[in-house]
Amino acid sequence: MQTVYDFTVKDREGRDVSLSEYQGKVLLIVNTATGCGFTPHYDPLEAMYKELKDQGFEILDFPCNQFANQAPGSDEEIHQFCTLKFGTEFPQFKKIDVNGENADPLYAFLAAEKPFAGFGKGLKNAALNKFADMNNRQFGDKAYIKWNFTKFLVDRQGRVIARFEPTADMQAVKDAVLAAL
pLDDT tens string 63-81:
999 998 889 889 899 999 9
Name the phi and psi angles at 99, rounded to 5: -135, 160
Q: What is the predicted pLDDT for the residue at 23?
A: 97
Per-residue confidence band for 168, with pLDDT thresholds at 50, 70 and 90? very high
CATH number of the 4-180 domain: 3.40.30.10
**Domain boundary assignment for the chain:** 4-180
User: Out of 19, 29, 30, 36, which one is annotated catalytic?
Assistant: 36
CA-wise closest residue to 65 among 94, 101, 29:
94
What's the pTM?
Answer: 0.93
| Residue 64 appears among annotated catalytic residues | no
Q: What is the pLDDT of residues 23-44, one digit of tens each?
A: 999 999 999 999 888 888 999 9
What number is the average pLDDT over the span 148-174? Answer: 97
What kind and span of H or E run contains 153? Answer: strand 151-154
- CB hemisphere CA count around 142 (13 angstroms): 14
Does 92 or 126 have the greater pLDDT score? 92
pLDDT at 53 over 90: yes
Instruction: Provide the residue type at 56 as one letter.
Output: G
What pLDDT is stored for residue 69 in this prediction? 84
How does pLDDT run across 79-104, given as a tens digit for each residue? 999 998 999 999 999 999 999 999 99
Q: How confident is the model at residue 11 (pLDDT cuts 50, 70, 90)?
A: very high
